[in-house]
Copies of this chain bind each other. A is one copy, B any other.
Amino acid sequence: MDRHSAADEPITPLGFLERAATLFADRRAVVDGEREWTYREFDDRARRQAGLLRSLGVKRGDRVAVLALNGVMLLESHYGVPLAGAALVAMNTRLSVPELQYIVDHSRSKVLLLDEFHSHLAAKLVAPRVIAGPDYDDLLASAPPGGEMPDDEWSLLAVDYTSGTTGRPKGVMYHHRGAYLQSLAMAFHTRLDLDSVFLWTLPMFHCNGWCFTWAVTAAGGTHLCLPRIEPGVVWEMIEHYGVTHLNAAPTVLTMLSADPAADPAKVQGVIKVATGGAPPSPALLERLGGLGMEVTHLYGLTETFGPVAIRQLAPETARLPAAERARLTSRQGGANIAARRLRVVDDSGADVPADGETLGQVAIRSGTVMLGYLDDEEATRAAVPDGWFRTGDLGVMHPDGAVELRDRSKDIIISGGENIASIEVEQALDSHPAVLESAVVGAPDDLWGEVPVAFVTLREGADVGPEELVEHVRGRLARFKAPKRIVFGPLPKTATGKIQKFVLREQVRG
Give residues 1-58 of A contacting B (CB, 8 Å). 1-2, 4-9, 11, 15-16, 18-19, 22-27
Check if B315 sits within 8 Å of A195, measured CB to CB. yes
Measured between beta carbons, the chain B residues less than 8 angstroms from A381 are: 4
- Whether a CB of chain B sits under 8 angstroms from the CB of A314 is yes
Check if B1 sits within 8 Å of A371, measured CB to CB. yes
| Contact among B4, B11, B369, B387 for A367, CB-based, below 8 A | B11
Cβ proximity bits A349-367 to B, threshold 8 Å, 1 near / 0 not: 0000000000000001111
Cβ proximity bits A322-347 to B, threshold 8 Å, 1 near / 0 not: 00000000000111011011000000
- Whether a CB of chain B sits under 8 angstroms from the CB of A66 is no
Q: Quote the shortest CB–CB distance from A13 to chain B (angstroms).
A: 11
Q: Quote the shortest CB–CB distance from A108 to chain B (angstroms).
A: 19
Check if A194 sits within 8 Å of B372, measured CB to CB. no
Check if A22 sits within 8 Å of B371, measured CB to CB. no
Q: Which residue among A181, A367, A384 has the maximum number of chain B CB atoms within 10 Å of its CB? A: A367
Task: Determine the distance from Cα of A181 to Cα of B387 in the docked complex, in whole angstroms.
Answer: 23
Measured between beta carbons, the chain B residues less than 8 angstroms from A371 are: 1-2, 5, 7
Q: Quote the shortest CB–CB distance from A184 to chain B (angstroms).
A: 5
Q: A184-B188, A341-B22, A371-B1 are in contact. Are A366 and B314 (CB under 8 A)?
A: no
Task: Determine the distance from Cα of A390 to Cα of B5 in the docked complex, in whole angstroms.
Answer: 11
Check if A220 sits within 8 Å of B9, measured CB to CB. no
Q: Quote the shortest CB–CB distance from A260 to chain B (angstroms).
A: 32
Cβ proximity bits A395-411 to B, threshold 8 Å, 1 near / 0 not: 00000111000000000
Q: List 19 A-B contacts (CB under 8 A).
A: A1-B175, A2-B372, A5-B369, A6-B384, A6-B387, A7-B366, A8-B387, A9-B340, A9-B367, A11-B367, A18-B341, A19-B341, A23-B312, A23-B333, A187-B337, A191-B191, A194-B314, A195-B314, A219-B337
